[in-house]
Amino acid sequence: MIDYEEANLPFHVMFVITAPPSERERIVDRLMDVRGIIDVREMLTGRRNIHAEVVGESTTDIVRITDAIHEMGVEVESSEIIKRRRSQPFNHFYFSDPFDGEESEDENEGGEHEEHGSERESREDAGARESDEEEQS
């Protein structure tokens, strides 16, 4: 993750923009050409349908970017200063537990965890690998 403050870009802002749905793709392409816009997300909603992440050295940069957005004929619904951004790769290939390490609501009355097909198969595969390794030793 880039530390924008450390890179002398202390202003980190999220602009929430409304563009006509028929113009959304064209607007997104134009936004990516504006110096200082680092990420643009296109939403399916009718309003607040573009989120543009922006960095700048000064308020002058942020005003320049704001003016460029307005010149595209779209409405800036809000702008928020970003304190910190976190992300992680998606690695949850089944949705049995809402949180890692916590008990699932899929427990039966006896308090035992109910395994789903993908969990059971993974454990069976791991057991088979362990048996094969022991036999080879």
Q: What is the CATH number of the domain that holds 21?
A: 3.30.70.100
**Rounded Cα gap, residues 94 and 117, in angstroms:** 10
Percent of the chain at pLDDT above 90? 47
Element spanning 59, H or E = helix 59-71
Q: Is the predicted pLDDT of residue 113 greater than 50, yes or no? A: no
Cα within 13 Å of Cα(127), Cβ side = 6
**In 3D, which of 18, 60, 20 has the Cα closest to residue 36?**
60
The dihedral formed by the CA atoms of 125, 129, 132 and 134, expressed in degrees to the nearest 10: -130
Q: Is the predicted pLDDT of residue 32 greater than 50, yes or no? A: yes
- For residue 83, what are its two tokens? 């304190």
**4 within domain boundaries:** no
Q: Is the predicted pLDDT of residue 98 greater than 80, yes or no? A: no
Range of the domain at 50: 11-81
Lowest mean pLDDT: which of 7-11, 34-38, 100-104? 100-104
pTM for the whole structure: 0.62
Question: Are residues 16 and 51 part of one domain?
Answer: yes
pLDDT of amino acid 128: 47
Q: How confident is the model at residue 91 (pLDDT cuts 50, 70, 90)?
A: confident
**56 within domain boundaries:** yes
- Give how many domains the chain has, as a whole number: 2
Question: Are residues 117 and 67 part of one domain?
Answer: no
**65 within domain boundaries:** yes
Does residue 100 or residue 121 have the better pLDDT?
100
pLDDT of amino acid 101: 59
Which of the 8 DSSP states describes residue 52?
E
